[in-house]
């Protein structure tokens, strides 16, 4: 069996504590979620060396084990969960079994690798600005970012609390339903779907084949649910200004949360992570007026988003601007990929709603598409993913050179 390099050097495995709907399900857990007696890496050996083992399982781990799930190991991740590429963690980055020419994307890269490679059935990770959604897209998986606050985050190392969620990765969307039933059994359920929104003004930077796949999906969903499909402009929700606003808000929270550790250990981190953290420091030093202006801008954005995607509506969006992130790309190309993915993640991230990634195949072309709904649209989106799951990437693999392997990152 090929070593996917997806588990941490001190990987922790735990047996189920009871029986339930996850009997027989193998679970890979991102190494920022507490497991009793295990010291999380948070993507870096230096973090592990400067912290103590967890005294308790995180509630999400306790619930999964009590439902019959077996934790088969803790998975690699990008440093401090602060990347969308999947190339900067501990040692060799996780390999992408779905696309040998690409990284797994991040920061939940190891969980995605384990699920895509069949080592695990369910991947558990976190998503602050796309860290479930980007790996799902890169690895041909279904990925679910739940409504913000729906799944308890106690025992999960934070990056930026007002954006952090615990999310899930799977090859079968029905497993996403079971995972959510365990993680949030008493969750609110939103209204039934009333319309499908097709943002016809955002495809200029996408492949025409991606747009064709999205149009086809919108028609299929509309027919399956017997609801109308309407054109709905949304370019202002995913433009550079939205991405930059998200970046500023997130950066200040990151520095507020981690400034002490980062100040003492920044030189041990990868160059691009260092650069982002220095930006965090600079933004955190802004006047209170600048911070308040950004918070006001977020409130206006959320208001505009709720008008564009009201309860009961489902928007179909791209998850990336180009297939990747490729192993052969330069640092500049990886940065462009991250920036574009960040913008496309903005609506769900800033608005706190739910998003599910569906690994669609249309006319032999792989297109991961994101369905976005208002807060508490989780069940509606999973239902749609299950309906569409017979024609997804599980039947398709890109043609990539088998000899390609990730570059080792020394940390």
Find the helix packing angle between 173-183 and 378-388, rounded to 10°: 160
d(CA 33, CA 133): 18
**Residue 219: pLDDT over 70:** yes
According to DSSP, the residues that pair with 283 across neighbouring strands are none
Q: How far is CA 308 from CA 112, 129, 205, 231, in A?
A: 31, 20, 21, 11
Domain residue spans in the chain? 26-395
Model confidence at 170, pLDDT cuts 50, 70, 90, reads very high
User: DSSP assignment, residue 392?
Assistant: B
Model confidence at 1, pLDDT cuts 50, 70, 90, reads low
Q: What pLDDT was estimated at residue 51? A: 98
3-state secondary structure of 280: helix
Write the pLDDT tens digit of every residue in 274-313.
999 999 999 999 889 999 999 999 999 999 999 999 999 9
User: How high does pLDDT run on average in the chain?
Assistant: 94
Residue 317 corresponds to which tokens in the numbers above?
């969006």
Q: How far is CA 399 from CA 3, 99, 283, in A?
A: 20, 8, 43
Write the pLDDT tens digit of every residue in 342-358.
999 999 999 999 999 99
Q: Are 349 and 84 in contact (CB under 8 A)?
A: no
Model confidence at 364, pLDDT cuts 50, 70, 90, reads confident
Q: Are 136 and 143 in contact (CB under 8 A)?
A: yes
d(CA 113, CA 98): 8
Q: What is the pTM of this model?
A: 0.95
φ, ψ of residue 410 in degrees (nearest 5): -85, 125
| Alpha-helix runs per DSSP H in 167-207 | 173-183
| Alpha-helix runs per DSSP H in 117-159 | 133-138
Model confidence at 403, pLDDT cuts 50, 70, 90, reads very low
Model confidence at 371, pLDDT cuts 50, 70, 90, reads very high
Model confidence at 6, pLDDT cuts 50, 70, 90, reads very high
Q: Are 67 and 79 in contact (CB under 8 A)?
A: no
Q: Can you spell out the DSSP letters for 24-80?
A: T-EEEEETTB--BT----TT-HHHHHTSPPBSS--HHHHHHHHTT-EEEEEE---GG
Q: What pLDDT was estimated at residue 393? A: 58
d(CA 127, CA 369): 17
Longest dimension (CA), the chain: 57
The CATH H-level superfamily of 26-395 is Amidase signature (AS) domain (3.90.1300.10)
Q: What pLDDT was estimated at residue 400? A: 39
Cis peptide bond upstream of 271, omega within 30: no
């Amino acid at each position: 069996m090929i070593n996917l390099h997806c588990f941490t050097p001190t990987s922790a495995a735990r047996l189920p504590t009871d029986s339930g709907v996850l009997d027989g399900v193998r679970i890979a857990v991102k190494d920022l979620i507490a497991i009793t007696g295990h010291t999380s890496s948070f993507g870096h050996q230096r973090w592990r060396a400067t912290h103590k083992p967890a005294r308790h399982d995180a509630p999400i781990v306790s619930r999964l084990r009590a439902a019959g799930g077996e934790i088969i190991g803790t998975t690699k991740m990008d440093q401090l969960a602060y990347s969308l590429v999947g190339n900067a963690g501990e040692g060799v980055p996780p390999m992408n079994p779905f696309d040998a020419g690409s990284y797994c994307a991040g920061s939940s890269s190891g969980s995605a690798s384990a699920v895509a490679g069949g080592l695990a059935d369910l991947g558990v990770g976190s998503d602050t600005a796309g860290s479930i959604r980007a790996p799902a897209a890169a690895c041909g998986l279904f990925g679910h970012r739940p409504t913000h606050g729906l799944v308890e985050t106690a025992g999960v190392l934070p990056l930026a609390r007002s954006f952090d969620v615990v999310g899930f990765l799977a090859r079968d969307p029905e497993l996403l339903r079971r995972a959510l039933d365990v993680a949030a059994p008493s969750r609110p359920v939103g209204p039934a779907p009333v319309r499908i929104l097709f943002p016809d003004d955002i495809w200029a930077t996408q492949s025409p084949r991606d747009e064709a796949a999205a149009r086809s999906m919108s028609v299929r969903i509309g027919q399956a649910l017997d609801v109308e499909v309407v054109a709905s402009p949304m370019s202002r929700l995913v433009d550079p200004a939205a991405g930059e606003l998200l970046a500023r808000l997130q950066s200040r929270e990151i520095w507020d949360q981690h400034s002490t550790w980062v100040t003492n250990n920044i030189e041990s981190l990868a160059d691009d992570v260092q650069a982002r953290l220095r930006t965090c420091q600079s933004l955190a030093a802004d006047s209170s007026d600048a911070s308040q202006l950004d918070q006001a801008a977020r409130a206006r954005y959320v208001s505009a988003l709720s008008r564009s995607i009201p309860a009961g509506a489902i928007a179909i969006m791209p998850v990336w601007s180009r297939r990747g992130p490729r192993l052969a790309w330069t640092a500049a190309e990886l940065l462009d990929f991250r920036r574009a993915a960040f913008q496309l993640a903005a609506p769900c991230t800033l608005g706190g709603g739910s998003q599910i990634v569906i690994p669609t195949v249309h006319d032999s072309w792989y297109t991961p598409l994101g369905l976005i709904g208002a807060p508490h649209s989780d069940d509606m989106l999973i239902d749609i993913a299950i309906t569409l799951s017979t024609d997804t990437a599980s039947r398709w693999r890109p043609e990539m050179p088998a000899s390609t392997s990730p570059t080792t990152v020394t940390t």
